[in-house]
Structure 1
Amino acid sequence: MSGLSNRYVAMRDFQATSEDEISIKVKERVQVLFMERDRWRVSKVDLSGQVLDPPEGYVPRDCLVNEMPVEQQQWFMDIDKAETEKLLLSEPNIDGSFLVRPGRDLSYCLSVRKNKQVIHYDIERDVTQGFFIHIGRYFTCVHDLVLYHRYHLEDHKCLPLVPFLSSLSSSENWERPSSDFTLVRKVSDFDISHYRFTRWESSWKEGRRKVLVHTMSREFFTRNHFMSGMEVLKTLSHRNVAELYALCTTEDPVYIVTECMEKGDLQSFLCGEEGHRLSESELLHIADQVLVGMAYLEAKRVLHLDLCCRNILVGNDLVCKISQFGFAIQEKGKHVWPPGKKMLVKWMPPEVIEQGEVSSKTDVWSFGILLYEIFSLGQTPYKGVTSKEAAKNMLAGYRLPMPPLCPADVYDLMLKCWYEDPRKRPTFQQIVESKIFF
């Protein structure tokens, strides 16, 4: 079913006790092949969805949870009851269309169109048994509740249920007038080569209430071929990659509209009061999310080329998402640094600075610098040194020292990311498989 994911994560270890079962460890990813009442048949997969050995087997249903939080599911929307009814009753939705929205007291609500009306079902949560609509039928996560009630919603005859469709999310309708958005609060700004970039918490008058708007001059947007990066972003869908909602490219300044994350960018977050209270395990959790997102891009053969803490967005519960895809390109053979694009020199490896050669190993080097930022709580790499001096020192063999909060094995990984020969640097998938962050 479109919009319902069959990708899950293990919440705890399970040791197989029969030939038709499969052993899994906490945080391993699986793809659900089919479901029985108390156990599901699964196959282990990597971040790209590639099936791993052993091929498949049964595990208890209650040790798995869908890999995407409710708020990141395609069928979730942060709107109120009136807006929900307006959306579900509009085209192209039909009877059976549904969405999940915030409910009362931090719970959720399942809203379903039926006979050209909208019926609302409260999703409640029992602390010990899980989520439910009807007492006696409990689910580990809201996703599984939705999956079950697709066919078992009481008194609902418009089956099966299908996720809502919004004309605003159509890939043919990315371009919007800037008047659709109200810039509410400046989140951050920075300069690249005399051009000012600003991020704004904004409101969208249609559909979604809160969005993040990145503004820049149309001259810079055009000169640096940002549209190619936006075309790449349109093809991506991952819990650790910021979603593109809309573009406003015909006026000056240009608006790039993405999902809004409550805590702002990672660099500012780490430097703030909340960042200075983070534990080592929380810093590792942040690093792991960026890693998982980059492994996804690697599997998609996408080069980000602008990976640094200020381009990672942070939400509630320390959810992190990679953003700022203006420099991104699809990897097809050998690449050189795009002509005219300004690079973040302090995050770039030797082959880019000297020959302009880029590859997925460019992002691996930048990931090592980003780890330095994380474990120094947002400190700028090569602080107090110009980009030219930093490049000269790096080319002579200098590497950043281990930050005070950095575990020794993570610093060892950073040094591997900074091998001069890109062929010796690990891939993101290899780093994921090392399980270094958990």
Structure 2
Amino acid sequence: MLKKEERKKFNGVISGDHVSLTTNKSLVDEEWFHGVLPREEVVRLLTTDGDFLVRETTRNDECQTVLSVCWSGHKHFIVQTTAEGHYRFEGPAFPTIRDLILYQFNSGLPVTQRSGAVLYKPIPRERWELNNDDVQLLDTIGRGNFGDVYRAQLKNSNEVVAVKTCRLTLPEEHKKKFLQEGRILKQYDHPNIVKLIGICVQKQPIMIVMELVPGGSLLNFLRKKGSGLAEGQLMKMCMDVAAGMRYLESKNCIHRDLAARNCLVGYNNTVKISDFGMSREEEEYTVSDGMKQIPIKWTAPESLHFGKYTSLSDVWSYGILCWEIFSRGATPYSDLSNSKARLKIDEGYRMPAPENTPDEMYRLMLRCWEYKPENRPNFEQIYTVVETLCAAYRFC
């Protein structure tokens, strides 16, 4: 733990992990101000007693500024406003929130006597936390589960990007799920996984900034241009997805919503896996909050019946995705309702191969649709099979 005299080395320093607490900045310009970052993300950043940051939250439609501190757990102090419009905790009041935080830091006094929490180390924004004002929204290109998706431009580099926005009216629980996609994607770097550029949490609306993949949704691409695609191009798409899923499998990431609608088509028809809103970073994940909004026709039987997800349940979905690719965007089990499809699958029914699907590829689909997950191939094995098929057919 840092001693009071050791705190002074943070004053005036803006390099590395050290953050200035003395330069004349506004609160929003301070590296330790994290905007509307949700509490769950804040707790993840504060790891040692004395670590602190400042953020904003909304309660009963009222915006409040909160000082979050790691101290025998995590404590969150709402900044109080006096009748004169000054700011305080228990001690003296100050004309700005920034002055109040500087006082608490430099004095070494507890924020409140009851908590005993002392500010030792300001925690800076992570490099992937962007300023909302650095992103210029251009035009709407789609709609996601949480809000609109825009084509946008980064002001500092003029790079054109895709931006997912989170509706202001969504409850905090939904905003947490929205940011979960960013938290997962920031760790990954693979040509078949959509690239995260950053998140914007300095103010509302919260935004996730990602690479703009020019071909749009794989499903729409297949439906519009699929008739002009050769079998070899379709096989290459299956290989792209297998490569991305093999990478996710190695990271213990379960996607949980793998489908053509959740993949994007880039340059040279390269497919990138996207939409990680349902993903989980663990070897096995069991749903405990019901089965709402589950894509029944893409979901493995063990997930539907027991809420159990693993990479092998993603393998089932991959088989459906390959079927979508070779059917050039058809809807799986199109003549069956969700409940009827689920019943028939339990009885052993499997979809026939789309027209002109190579026999070896259909056999792989059937292996992905083995009822027991342990009988399915993993993505390492799947990639090897598809890569071999591509080479044998001179498709790639």
TM-score normalised per structure 1:
0.55
Contact 1:228 / 1:329 at 8 angstroms: preserved in 2?
A: no
> Which residue in 2 is equivalent to 1:288?
239
Higher relative contact order (CA 8 A, sep 6+): 2
Higher helix share: 2
Q: CA deviation at 1:220?
A: 6.8
> Which residue in 1 is equivalent to 2:98?
none
The answer for unaligned runs of 5 or more in structure 2 is 1-123, 392-396
Contact 1:210 / 1:260 at 8 angstroms: preserved in 2?
A: yes
Q: CA deviation at 1:418?
A: 0.5
C-alpha spacing 1:389/1:279, structure 2 compared with 1 (3 Å): same
Distance 2:142 2:349 in 1: 31
Higher strand share: 1
Q: CA deviation at 1:180?
A: 3.3
Distance 2:172 2:328 in 1: 31
The equivalent position to 2:355 in structure 1, one of 392, 404, 410, is: 404
1:152-191 CA distances to partner (integer Å, 9 max, x unpaired)?
Answer: xxxxxxxxxxxxxxxxxx981323344433333333336x
C-alpha spacing 1:275/1:216, structure 2 compared with 1 (3 Å): farther
- Aligned residue runs from structure 1 range 138-287, under 5 A: 172-189=126-143, 195=145, 197-217=147-167, 219=170, 222-223=173-174, 225-249=177-201, 253-272=205-224, 274-287=225-238
Give the letter aligned to residue 378 of structure 1. Answer: G
> Which residue in 1 is equivalent to 2:389?
436
Distance 2:363 2:172 in 1: 38
C-alpha spacing 1:432/1:201, structure 2 compared with 1 (3 Å): same
Query: 393-402 or 296-305: which moved more?
Result: 393-402
Query: 338-347 or 368-377: which moved more?
Result: 338-347
Q: CA deviation at 1:252?
A: 5.6
Distance 1:427 1:399 in 2: 20
Contact 1:283 / 1:375 at 8 angstroms: preserved in 2?
A: yes
Contact 1:226 / 1:327 at 8 angstroms: preserved in 2?
A: no
> Which residue in 1 is equivalent to 2:287?
337
Distance 1:188 1:420 in 2: 35
Q: CA deviation at 1:328?
A: 1.4
Do structure 1's residue 364 and structure 2's residue 318 form an aligned pair?
no
- SS of residue matched to 2:356: coil
> Which residue in 2 is equivalent to 1:297?
248
> Which residue in 2 is equivalent to 1:30?
none
Contact 1:229 / 1:329 at 8 angstroms: preserved in 2?
A: no
C-alpha spacing 1:199/1:411, structure 2 compared with 1 (3 Å): farther
- SS of residue matched to 2:138: strand
Distance 1:266 1:317 in 2: 13
- Aligned residue runs from structure 1 range 36-185, under 5 A: 172-185=126-139
The root-mean-square deviation of aligned C-alpha atoms, in Å, is: 2.5
- SS of residue matched to 1:381: coil
Q: CA deviation at 1:216?
A: 4.1
Query: How many residues in Structure 1 have an aligned counterpart in Structure 2?
Result: 263
Distance 1:246 1:386 in 2: 39
Q: CA deviation at 1:221?
A: 7.6
TM-score normalised per structure 2:
0.61
- SS of residue matched to 1:436: helix
Distance 2:203 2:331 in 1: 34
Give the letter aligned to residue 269 of structure 2. Answer: L
The answer for unaligned runs of 5 or more in structure 1 is 1-169
C-alpha spacing 1:276/1:216, structure 2 compared with 1 (3 Å): farther
Contact 1:312 / 1:321 at 8 angstroms: preserved in 2?
A: yes
Larger radius of gyration: 2
C-alpha spacing 1:172/1:393, structure 2 compared with 1 (3 Å): same
Give the letter aligned to residue 367 of structure 1. Answer: Y
Contact 2:182 / 2:198 at 8 angstroms: preserved in 1?
A: no
1:341-387 CA distances to partner (integer Å, 9 max, x unpaired)?
Answer: 63222110110000001101011000001001101111121225433
- The percent of aligned pairs where both chains have the same amino acid is 35
